[in-house]
């Protein structure tokens, strides 16, 4: 991991120096022109998000920048690699983003399991402060900022940005109603931006090299590169920074090394547990926001989970839905009651107690817990892998009924 001297020697903090010579609005303009879209899962344009924060002497203060480093979505590890690998890159992105919205305090909200990343970030913050990149009057610009690392205590819903704000305030972390959005009423009621780790890691490079350069890195309409990952039965599980829009096949074959000996690709979740399954028919799909959306799924976090031909899709869904059921915050009834019911239906199929109408009941849940039916996006996210599995792996569900149990059972309980 590079220390400050190595990072600065490789061009680090040049983006910050450039940004401090610009007005906040000019910095926002650069990020808008770069087509940087949020890497936290939803792909919201970053410059536009910043643009909703009130600026100038009339704006309420203090304002906050909050970094979302909760990363608890199953199958996702990209932010950990970014924070452990190069903490100064994130710190620089935070300072630039804070300048762009005129925030005076920043928080990094990091999950408890990432102890190593938290320690490296704390060391980098101390180094940056000692060299005048943080603290009062940064590099003589008149802009001041401090960064505090908040280590959480484990709960997926804290990654939802408004639940995260409640968590930081020391409240029970359930989501808040939107609107108002955090940009106007956020942490302690003050204007706040919540950004993902990877989003902010892109920012120094945009300021240093310009929006055209950044857009040129991409193979799609979205700007820049993306940290793609792969896990499951592939030869080399891992993560790679590649041009945005790199096709699935290239990621899985050239980088992940193809499937492990003796396993065939059956399907995949393109961007974590809350994205719809895709199939081998989609291998030539470019992994950018619009293309994956066009195929009926979402780019999400861009970290691929591979389903092989020796893993039962129904069993895999038990793991997925059990995760969502356990992590539901319990605030709204459809999610709190519906998700455990989904798990029971899946378990019944797996144990040979399932009936044909249970499959229809699962389908019904994908509608009843869908977008607009619940207080936040956790439950609709939980329905994405389920609805697509019911579509692509229908045959497997039916076999669990007709064969009175899981056809894969023997292999699972080795």
Partner 1 sequence: MLTEQERHEIDEEVAAVRGHARAAVVEALKVVQRRRGWVSDDDLRDVAACLGMTPAEVDAVATFYNKIFRRRVGRHVLLICDSVSCWIVGYHALLEHLRARWGLELGATTADDRFTLLPVACLGLCEQAPAMLLDGELYGNLTPARLDAILATHE
227 lines the binding site for partner 1 (CB under 8 A): no
Q: Residue 73 CB, nearest distance to partner 1 (Å)?
A: 7
| 3-state DSSP of the chain | CCCHHHHHHCCCCHHHHHHHCCCHHHHHHHHHHCCCECCCCCCCEHHHHHHCCCCCCCCCCCCEEEEEECCCCCCCCHHHHHHHHCHHHHHHHHHHHHHHHCCCEEEEEECCCCHHHHHHHHHHHHHHHHCCCCECCHHHCCCCEEEEEEECCCCHHHHCHHHHHHHHCCCCCCCCCCCCCCCCCCHHHCCEEEEEHHHHHHHHHHHHHCHHHHHHCCCCCCCCEEEEEEEECECCCEEEEEECCCEHHHHHHHHCCCECCCCCEEEEEECECCCCCECHHHCCCECCHHHHHHCCCCCCCCEEEEEECCCCHHHHHHHHHHHHHHHCCCCCHHHHHHHHHHHHHHHHHHHCCCCHHHHHHHHHHHHHCCCCCCCCCHHHHHHHHHHHHHHHCHHHHHHHHHCCCCCCHHHHCC
User: Which entry of ligand SF4, ligand FMN, ligand FES, none binds 74, CB below 5 to 8 A by partner kind?
Assistant: ligand FES
The answer to the question of residue 195 lying near ligand FMN (CB under 6 A) is yes
**Residue selected from 92, 102, 127, 160 as contacting ligand FMN according to rule CB under 6 A:** 160
Name the minimum Å distance from CB 75 to ligand FES.
6
- Identity of the residue, 160 or 396, whose beta carbon is nearer to ligand FMN in the bound complex: 160
Nearer to ligand SF4, 172 or 361 (CB): 172
The nearest distance, CB 322 to ligand FES, in angstroms, is 12
Work out how close the CB of 319 gets to ligand FES at its nearest, in angstroms, rounded to a whole number: 9
Binding residues for partner 1, total number by CB under 8 A: 59
Task: Give the count of residues interacting with ligand FMN (CB under 6 A).
Answer: 24
Contact pattern for ligand FES over residues 20 through 59, marking x by CB under 6 A = ----------------------------------------
Q: Which does 1 bind (CB under 5 to 8 A by kind): partner 1, ligand FMN, ligand SF4, none?
A: none
Q: Which residues sit at the interface with ligand FMN, rule CB under 6 A?
A: 38-42, 44, 49, 68, 70-73, 156-157, 159-161, 194-196, 199, 376-378
Q: Which residues sit at the interface with partner 1, rule CB under 8 A?
A: 71-77, 79-80, 111-116, 148, 150-156, 167-173, 188, 229-233, 237-239, 269, 273, 303, 305-308, 311, 315-316, 319-320, 322-323, 326-327, 329, 412-414
């Amino acid at each position: 991991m590079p220390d400050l001297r190595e990072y600065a020697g490789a061009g680090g903090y040049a983006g910050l120096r450039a940004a401090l010579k610009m007005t906040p609005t000019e910095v926002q303009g650069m990020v808008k022109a770069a087509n940087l879209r949020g890497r936290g899962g939803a792909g919201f344009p970053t410059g536009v998000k910043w643009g909703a924060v009130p600026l100038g002497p009339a704006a309420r203060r203090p304002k906050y920048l909050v970094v979302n480093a909760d990363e608890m979505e199953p199958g996702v590890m990209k932010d950990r690699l970014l924070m452990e690998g190069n903490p100064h890159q994130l710190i620089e992105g935070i300072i630039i983003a804070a300048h762009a919205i005129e925030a005076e305090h920043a928080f990094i909200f990091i999950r408890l399991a990432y102890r190593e990343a938290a320690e490296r970030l704390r060391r980098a913050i101390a180094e940056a402060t000692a060299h005048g990149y943080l603290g009062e009057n940064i590099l003589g610009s008149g802009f001041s900022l401090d960064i505090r690392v908040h280590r959480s205590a484990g709960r997926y819903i804290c990654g939802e940005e408004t639940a995260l704000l409640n968590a930081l305030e020391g409240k029970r972390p359930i989501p808040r109603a939107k609107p108002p959005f955090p940009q106007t009423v956020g942490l302690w009621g003050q204007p706040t931006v919540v950004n993902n780790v990877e989003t902010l890691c892109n920012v120094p490079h945009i300021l240093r090299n310009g929006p055209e350069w950044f857009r040129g890195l991409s193979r799609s309409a979205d700007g820049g590169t993306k940290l793609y990952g792969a896990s499951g039965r592939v030869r080399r599980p891992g993560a790679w920074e590649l041009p945005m829009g790199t096709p699935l096949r290239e990621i899985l074959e050239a980088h992940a090394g193809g499937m492990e000996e003796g396993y065939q690709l059956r399907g995949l979740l393109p961007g974590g547990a809350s994205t719809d399954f895709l199939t081998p028919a989609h291998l030539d799909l470019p992994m950018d926001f619009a293309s994956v959306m066009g195929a009926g799924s979402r780019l999400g976090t861009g970290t691929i989970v591979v389903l092989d031909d020796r893993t039962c899709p129904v069993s895999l869904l038990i793991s997925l839905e059990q995760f969502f059921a356990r992590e539901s915050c319990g605030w709204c009834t459809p999610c709190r009651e519906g998700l455990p019911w989904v798990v029971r239906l899946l378990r019944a199929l797996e144990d040979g107690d399932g009936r044909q109408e249970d499959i229809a009941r699962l389908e019904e849940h994908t509608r009843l817990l869908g977008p607009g039916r619940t207080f936040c996006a956790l439950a609709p996210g939980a329905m994405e892998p389920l609805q697509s599995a019911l579509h692509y792996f229908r045959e497997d569900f039916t076999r669990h009924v007709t064969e009175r149990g899981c056809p894969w059972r023997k292999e699972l309980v080795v």
